[in-house]
Chain A
């Protein structure tokens, strides 16, 4: 494995935590973490301690025994510490497994961490919890999906939504409190179950974040053939983009919204699908419990997605286009 640094900075050799060694080369970086005897909490190097939680047995179990570090408010993405051949990148604020299979997640950490509200990779192999690895534990709940299906190419899996009665409810009071209807970014990956989904005449929801009909963020497949919809509605003022697409592979769709900059920008595969939409309204209200969902428009569920979804990233600021472009590649 040849890991790359996600933060753009120089590579920093990292020794395996179990060696109890210090980070060498470059600036000293204090890091906690010791896998195997998590209660030790040994640090690799002294200096000002970073608030990094030591792994628990449960963490390890949930991640198939792979290493996981949590850093708040500042931490470094670390690759492959197990082998002692890893490197560190830029600042991050994210929990993610350290393994060869987590490069995309590490990229999210490096790019979005300072603005991250939640990050649901949807890569669980079993269970009903859609874990938020963004550090705030804003976990969602799966209903009916088939986990462990094909992924975006990052070595992880995604869930299949059957187009009939599957969905993932990500609502929580904490998410509603953290969500910013005036400034934000939403990124996700999707893949239709088959080519016919693009022409079946039905709406299929990728996500809906809705306070009410006048204040909502919607990404779905339109009832019009081969058309996506990306909608930002605030204070009853709707901005909508309807790019054409008929791909049967994984696509990355994103939307940024900023009341302060007065623009909503829709993206597909890292490229804006049109000029920024302006004249945004004023968002009002908190996210509703039954309409804050992935893979359906509600917990009924209605407008159920037919296909695969992965890597939902929600931020509290509008990320710039270069960041969106980076998140659109594996």
Chain B
């Protein structure tokens, strides 16, 4: 179990596919009835609706690269083997970009790293938000 921040960004999903995926991701988390609100799955949506940052106490298998690939395959109704991914490292944490039928569909980022502490993940996500405030912050 770990508590950290994960982000998903739709690169080429229909609105309906995006809605189904996000609805499924909102159900993740192992302590969604915890007395401490910070332990429950909660999220923030990018202004354009194309990306979401989740935070919760997660089960260890909920945010695996393969697991998200399987969810994506389900969305497209295809074999998971047809959804490929490529990983990369960014200053905010590792990413996995998923491809289906020659098109990048979704990007996953584990803020601070897959084994990050909450503090490390928090530092990474706040740095990311500060660097991308135009996309994430509403007018003031």
Give complex CA distance A105, B29 in Å: 36
Interface membership of A254, Cβ < 8 A: no
Map CB proximity to B onto A283-304 as digits: 1 under 8 Å, 0 otherwise.
Answer: 0000000000000011011111
Q: Which residue of A lies closest to B38 (CB)?
A: A146
CA distance A163 to B55 in the complex (A): 12
B14: CB under 8 A from chain A? no
- Contacts A201-B130, A202-B130 given; does A162 touch B138 at CB 8 Å: no
Min distance, Cβ A2 to any Cβ of chain B, angstroms: 34
Please determine whether B38 and A145 come into contact, CB atoms closer than 8 angstroms. yes
Q: With A and B bound together, what is the CA distance between A304 and B126 in angstroms?
A: 10
Q: Chain A residues near B139 (CB, 8 Å)?
A: 213
Secondary structure dominating the interface of B: mixed
- With contacts A302-B137, A303-B137 taken as known, whether A165 is within 8 angstroms of B37 at the C-beta atoms is no
| A166 CB-CB contact with B under 8 Å | yes
Which of the residues B37, B45, B122, B138 comes within 8 Å of A164, measured between beta carbons? B122
Question: How large, as a class, is the contact surface on chain B?
Answer: 20 to 34
Secondary structure type dominating chain A contacts: loop
Residues on the A chain within 8 Å of B42, using CB:
143-144, 165-166
Chain A 195-219, CB within 8 Å of chain B: the 1/0 string?
0000011110000000001000010
* Chain B: CB-nearest residue to A142: B37
CB atoms of A162 and B122 under 8 A apart: yes
A136-158: which residues lie under 8 A (CB-CB) from chain B? 142-148
Given contacts A164-B126, A202-B130, A306-B126, contact A301 B44 (CB under 8 A): yes
Interface of A with B (CB < 8 Å)? 125-128, 142-148, 160, 162-166, 200-203, 213, 218, 220, 223, 297-298, 300-304, 306
